[in-house]
């Protein structure tokens, strides 16, 4: 059985916690796309963790954790995260890195930073983790696949020389920076070879056999549907596909084996980075929601940046669930809304004077305004409640209204930051 956990919106929906919970029932947990540009926050008996490269199953001894071929692997950050777990008393996890995954190089990170600085006010709001340059190189066929580190040295030298020649056009003439050297690239590759050697494996063959043996496999997505380069708010998107369907490619699995797609929707909206955000709120209203949201406030797990805040956008969430192919919804951070007398919810958009209930392309989205409906609040703290039926009536009505509008059953409701704070319906 293969289950995917993915986001319906801009990311930051609380996927890490849901993955942590589902990992307890899984034999294998796989990161299948993205890189260190977004993190999953997990709270357990070891403490609070922000995972950037590692799959969220690393806290379970029975789980094999895989970094799939679709991931942009930052080797230093991968090793640093492993060491951080050990320093904090977490038993050494079972982890495998696909030999077909590719490496984020230092020049990817530099080029990302140079370009964001050059664009200035027109920037994409990148985390400057090298993700866009990495994926550009991957599809331009000038990326370094991990398997190449263990191959012919002469080939590696020739490729490094070819890449340095290309990159130095940017370094010298566009960004006016010191040029790359072939020797520095080769030394970095040899360093990565030594660091990664204990973890590299043919994960495709491993997963082929795991599927045949009926293992429980969990696919862990990064960011959300609205950051997908095809179906999201292009061009203010990420550079890898954030959809459950890509799990088949990014992990190397049969697409027809992905049976359950748990799509995570937050009880309000938040986003990091630039791009269209119809239900966004500002000022004191946003500050108050940001302060109460998440665990310790709504700030990026990777960047620490204050997240942009908004009310629950049911137009975007319905679209995101459809794009993901959701079979069920996990509805998170409901507890953050307990301070409100009334809770605004975006139920439609106004586009050029007309009301629409669909999520348009970015060109039209830029002209959309939210159509809000106010639902009654419950005015109390719901953390600690263990059964859905014990929630205040207005809290249940809020969940059920969202479920009806999204059109996908909400099977899980989160009412607190820890893995125990899940209500099942």
Active site residues: 12, 40
Residues facing 369 on adjacent strands: 350
Q: Alpha carbon of 36 to those of 76, 246, 247, 302, 424: distances in Å?
A: 11, 18, 18, 8, 31
Residues contacting residue 393 through CB under 8 Å, at least 6 positions apart: 378
Sheet of 422-424, strand order = 200-201, 94-98, 64-67, 28-31, 217-224, 2-7, 258-266, 328-332, 410-414, 422-424
Asked if 351 and 360 count as a contact pair (C-beta separation under 8 A), the reply is: yes
CA-based nearest residue to 101, from 68, 63, 78: 68
Q: Rounded distance, CA 37 to CA 132, Å?
A: 10
Q: Alpha carbon of 423 to those of 55, 332, 383: distances in Å?
A: 24, 10, 11
Q: What per-residue string of b and e applies to 58-85 under the rule 16 or more CB within 10 Å gives b?
A: bbbeebbbbbbbbbbbbbbbbeebbeeb
Asked if 75 and 196 count as a contact pair (C-beta separation under 8 A), the reply is: yes
Packed helices 182-196 and 153-169: angle between N→C axes, nearest 10 degrees? 130
Asked if 104 and 36 count as a contact pair (C-beta separation under 8 A), the reply is: yes
Long-range residue pairs from 77-83, CB within 8 A, at least 24 positions apart, any chain = 77/36, 77/52, 77/53, 78/53, 78/54, 78/196, 79/195, 81/51, 81/52, 81/53, 81/54, 82/54
């Amino acid at each position: 059985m293969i289950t995917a956990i993915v986001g319906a919106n801009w990311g930051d929906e609380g996927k890490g916690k849901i993955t942590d919970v589902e990992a307890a029932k899984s034999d294998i947990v796989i990161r299948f796309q993205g890189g260190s540009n977004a993190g999953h926050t997990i709270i357990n008996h070891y403490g609070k963790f922000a995972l950037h490269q590692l799959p969220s199953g690393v806290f379970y001894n029975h789980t094999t954790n895989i970094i799939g071929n679709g991931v942009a692997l930052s080797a230093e950050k991968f090793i640093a995260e492993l060491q951080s777990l050990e320093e904090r008393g977490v038993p050494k996890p079972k982890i495998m890195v696909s030999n077909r995954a590719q490496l984020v190089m230092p020049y990817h990170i530099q080029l990302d930073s140079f370009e964001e600085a050059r664009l200035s006010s027109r920037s994409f709001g990148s985390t400057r983790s090298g993700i866009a340059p990495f994926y550009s190189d991957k599809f331009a066929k000038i990326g370094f696949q991990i398997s190449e580190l263990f191959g012919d040295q002469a080939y590696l030298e020739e490729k490094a020389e070819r890449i340095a020649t290309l990159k130095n056009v940017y370094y010298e003439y566009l960004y006016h920076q010191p040029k790359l050297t072939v020797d520095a690239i080769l030394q970095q590759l040899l360093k990565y070879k030594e660091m990664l050697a204990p973890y590299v494996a043919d994960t495709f063959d491993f997963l082929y056999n795991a599927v045949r043996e009926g293992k429980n496999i969990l696919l862990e997505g990064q960011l959300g549907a609205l950051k997908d380069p095809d179906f999201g708010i292009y061009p203010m998107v990420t550079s890898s596909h954030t959809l459950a369907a890509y799990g088949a490619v990014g992990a190397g699995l049969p697409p027809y084996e992905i049976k359950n797609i748990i799509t995570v929707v937050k009880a309000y909206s938040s986003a990091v980075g630039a791009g269209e955000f119809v239900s966004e709120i500002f000022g004191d209203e946003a500050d108050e929601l940001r302060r109460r949201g998440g665990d310790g406030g709504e700030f990026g797990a990777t960047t620490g940046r204050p997240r942009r805040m908004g009310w629950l956008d049911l137009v975007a969430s319905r679209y995101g669930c459809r794009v993901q192919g959701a079979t069920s919804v996990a509805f998170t951070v409901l507890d953050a809304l307990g301070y409100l007398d009334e809770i605004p919810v975006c139920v439609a958009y106004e586009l050029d004077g007309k009301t629409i209930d669909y999520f348009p392309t970015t060109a039209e989205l830029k002209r959309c305004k939210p159509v809000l409906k106010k639902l009654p609040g419950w005015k109390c703290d719901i953390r600690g409640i263990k059964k859905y039926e014990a929630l205040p009536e207005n809290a249940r009505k809020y969940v059920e209204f969202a479920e009806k509008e999204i059109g996908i059953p909400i099977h899980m409701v989160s009412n607190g930051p820890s893995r125990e704070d899940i209500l099942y319906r």
